Amino acid sequence: WSHPIKSTFVTFPGDIIKNKTDSELAESYLKKFGYLNTEQRSGFQSMVSTGKALKRMQRQMGLEETGELDKATLEAMKQPRCGVPDVAN
């Protein structure tokens, strides 16, 4: 009776929220809120690294600055929030 339940995920019609992997979620979060962006300065484009972006996000959220996509960071990314980017672009 203690067999683990094997969940089947389905795609719900009309659902805007798509099932994403953790790294997909993190990447879209970091981009959406301005942590991971392409900065344009004097014609030079540089991509901020994901680790640096994660650290910046962790600092903003008052989390431990590990630069890793740890459980606490992932949980924070799933919380309901304001849509205004944390880092201005």
Q: Where along the sequence are the contacts to another protein (CB under 8 A)? A: 7-10, 12-17, 19, 33, 59-62, 76, 78-84, 86, 88
Minimum CB distance to another protein, residue 17 (Å): 5
Minimum CB distance to another protein, residue 39 (Å): 14
Q: CA-to-CA distance for 53 and 7, rounded, in angstroms?
A: 33
Segment holding 39, helix H or strand E: strand 38-41
Minimum CB distance to another protein, residue 36 (Å): 16
Q: Are 32 and 85 in contact (CB under 8 A)?
A: yes
CB closer to another protein out of 42 and 79: 79
CA 24 to chain centre: 8
